[in-house]
Amino acid sequence: MALTLMEGNEAIAWGARAAGCRFFAGYPITPATTVYNAMLKHLPPEGGICMQGEDEIASLGFCLGASMAGWKTMTATSGPGISLYSEQISFAIGSEIPVVIVDVQRLGPSTGSATKGADGDIQFLQWGNSGGLPVIVLAPVDITDCIVLTMQAFNLAETYRCPVFLAANKEISMTRETVDLDAIVLPDIINRRQADPARQFLPFGTSGERLTPAFLPIGGNRAVRQTSSTHGPDGYITADPELIARNQDRLQRKITSQADRFVFSEYDAAAGAETLIVTYGVTARAAKTAVETLRDAGTPVSLLVLKTLWPVPEALLREKGAGYDRIVVVEMNLGQYVREIQRVLPDRDIRFLGQMDGELIKPRQIEEVVRHG
């Protein structure tokens, strides 16, 4: 056994290193700074680079440049920084640049409470880019998730050449837990597909059923074009409506058509249960305790913990939600993800429990909603 005491941010850094990340840039912000601190310890011994940008915009820009050169890259921030990241996120989506972005959420809006957790960025992570194209967002529950989902985030970024978010939370990221590193089943490592050196290279060209282009690094032996403007397969700027529409459709479908391949979740069903609790992130811990208490008291209830938030795992929600009369959605905001549950399951009786006051949702609050609605 390799029992180790670490906080969530340290676990995220551990997972990033294990996934092959060798470049990190960030700007200090509570409660994400300890990701930077941990990467500062991990990367130099591995021949990697860890640096502080002059601000959040530059930090993500450094990551995108390093990624275009072929490095696996990561940055970490909180809500105010995510707001500043927006333009660079759009660049990463449109120019298909792999990067992992850790959002250690804190109470907002604006500066908010830097030392209080919340899940207030969930909708912003999905829609915080110009153009409204899809992104991938994973949400850890505990230390093990911080390691495994970070590695999965890198795999997805490499596979689909896109930004992937890890929607953490102050309470997950700055809580220390004991973890047995030897007992964790780590995913296989995936690297981006390299272009065939014997064939003509189109920076954004695809063929057959592949919707994600092969990669060549900038600065190598072959010319690589990169632009943040609308472009065709050759990387040249274009205003041709047909080329633009075709590329926008591909950017959308390369994520949405594959969404069922990266649905991470936990489902704990109880025989005879009429109520299903749906939650994610740190609130899943309170939900697990509430479920145990309710079952011990003779009230069977089931639990679905979502770890893939975007794209919405619609097939999973329809499958798991089909057998229940009532669904209780619990999240640490005033109602962001519950709207997706209502959209996907319009014929279900959906109840909502949420708050955004700097306090964690407690098990007894969930129990009350289940018992009394």
**Is it the case that residue 345 has pLDDT exceeding 90?**
yes
- DSSP assigned state of 115: T
8 A C-beta contact, residue 202 and residue 235? yes
**Is it the case that residue 1 has pLDDT exceeding 70?**
no
326-331 and 349-354 beta bridge pairing: parallel
Show the tokens assigned to 364: 């007894």
| Cα 210 to Cα 96, 198, 206, 225, 254, distances in angstroms | 14, 19, 6, 20, 8
Q: How far is CA 211 from the centre of its chain?
A: 21
Specify the amino acid at residue 214: A
| Cα 35 to Cα 40, 43, 73, 252, 311, distances in angstroms | 9, 12, 13, 31, 25
Show the tokens assigned to 232: 């065709």
pTM, entire model: 0.97
Calculate ∠ Cα 362-365-368, nearest 5°.
150
Closest to 256 (Cα-Cα) out of 207, 301, 312, 201:
312
pLDDT more than 70, % of the chain: 100
Specify the amino acid at residue 7: E
**Res 89: pLDDT:** 97
Mean pLDDT of all residues in 153-165:
98
**Res 223: pLDDT:** 84
Dihedral of CA atoms 112, 118, 122, 123 in degrees, nearest 10, equals -50
Q: At a CB cut-off of 8 Å and minimum separation 6, what does 24 contact?
A: 16, 35, 36, 39, 43, 48, 49, 50, 51, 63, 73, 74, 75, 76
Q: Is the peptide bond before 109 cis (omega within 30 degrees of 0)?
A: yes
| pLDDT tens per residue, range 32-75 | 999 999 999 999 999 999 999 999 999 999 999 999 999 999 99
DSSP string covering 116-131: S---TTHHHHHH-STT
Average pLDDT, the chain: 96
| Cα 218 to Cα 56, 64, 68, 181, 224, distances in angstroms | 23, 11, 6, 36, 6
Specify the amino acid at residue 177: E
Phi-psi map region of 358: left, alpha, beta (phi>0 left; psi -120 to 50 alpha): left
Mean pLDDT of all residues in 87-104:
97
Range scoring the smallest mean pLDDT among 196-210, 235-249, 303-317? 196-210
8 A C-beta contact, residue 326 and residue 294? no
The Cα diameter of the chain in Å comes to 68
Show the tokens assigned to 12: 């995220």
Show the tokens assigned to 13: 């850094």
Show the tokens assigned to 96: 């298909």
Distance CA 302, CA 318 (A): 15
Task: In the chain, count H helices and then E strands.
Answer: 12, 14
**Is it the case that residue 18 has pLDDT exceeding 70?**
yes
Show the tokens assigned to 50: 């860890």
**Res 2: pLDDT:** 79
